[in-house]
Chain A
Amino acid sequence: MVAQAIFWIASAVAILGGVGVITLRQPINAVLSLVAVMLALSVLFLLLSAQFIFAVQIIVYAGAVMVLFLFVVALLGPGRERTRGGLRLHWSLSLLVALPFFGVLWAMLSGVRFRAPQKADLATFGSVQQIGIGLFTKYLFPFELTSILLLVAAVGAIYLSRGERAGHGAGTADEDQDDRA
């Protein structure tokens, strides 16, 4: 009963936060709405007994990814999102996309049958130990692939910051640029 109340609260926060992300004009407020969404999602994970994912959701999404967003906003200065300059036929175009989307969503959701999970032992399900065993035996390959993904991300991050420096230097990102910059 309490769990249901928490579910409704967290879902409401997630949806309102999502609406906030696209409607709020100040970038910093939009970022904070997204933080609210992330925290609400972590609560939803917890309600599904995924305790490790609950903690990781906060550490990685709220604690790292959104902090990056906040850094970007703080670094870029005061700019408000401009209200003008949108597409013409803005409303009709979005309706054209949104209506079929909600239609598909409705069609998918109306076919869903909810049931309790059958095999999971809720005493250990979602615990760190169980995640560890699963991740390092059955799902080993995806786990190792993650490291390659992170490598690509690292290369991309370096490229982005080097590119920025090359912007007001010459054109290439060579080592000898450091002297001129």
Chain B
Amino acid sequence: MLSDYAPLVIYAVIVVGVVGLLITLSNLLGPQKPYKSKLLPYESGIVPVDPARKRYSVRFYLTAMLFIIFDVEAVFFYPWAVVLRQLRWYGVIEMLVFIGILLVALVHIWRKGGLEWE
């Protein structure tokens, strides 16, 4: 089984090498003439006032949390799907219970406005 992954390892090494080469070349080729206004962050020609790393909407955070919940759910679907033909109705009913409980979660999130993006 492990030998299946040997080409993956070799390929990963080659890919990292190629990408490393690209990044190195990006610093070697081309001129390096920095000056002050070139190094300012580009904000459509206006001189930037605040630092960029400020606080942003917490909505992104909620999205990421909900993503984890449903991602874990999705991960359980894959092994279930490949053996469904062997599990038959037994498998369908098992998954209906699982999905049913998660639908409660989805409905709760929905009704509490967790899916709204204001």
Cβ of A129 within 8 Å of any chain B Cβ, yes or no, is: yes
Instruction: List chain B residues, Cβ under 8 A from A151.
Output: 101-102, 104-105, 108
Closest beta carbon of chain B to A95's beta carbon, Å: 36
Which of these binds chain B: A16-24, A44-52, A109-117? A44-52
A136 touches B94 (CB 8 A): yes
Closest to B110 in A: A158
Q: How far is the CA of A140 from the CA of B94 in the complex (A)?
A: 8
**A144–B105 touching, CB < 8 Å:** no
**A59-B75, A75-B60 given as contacts; is B1 within 8 A of A157 (CB)?**
no
Stretch at the interface among B17-25, B29-37, B40-48, B64-72: B64-72
Whether a CB of chain B sits under 8 angstroms from the CB of A60 is yes
How many residues on A have C-beta within 8 angstroms of the other chain's C-beta atoms?
54
- A170 part of interface (Cβ distance < 8 Å): no
Q: Residues of B at under 8 Å CB distance from A? A: 1-2, 5-6, 9, 51, 53-62, 64-69, 71-73, 75-76, 78-83, 86-87, 90-91, 94, 97-98, 101-102, 104-106, 108-109, 112-114
Listed by A's residue number, 30 A-B pairs whose Cβ atoms lie within 8 Å are A2-B9, A3-B2, A51-B5, A60-B72, A63-B71, A64-B71, A64-B72, A68-B64, A71-B64, A72-B61, A77-B55, A128-B78, A128-B82, A129-B79, A129-B83, A131-B79, A132-B79, A132-B81, A136-B94, A137-B87, A146-B98, A147-B73, A148-B101, A150-B69, A151-B104, A154-B69, A157-B114, A158-B109, A161-B62, A164-B58
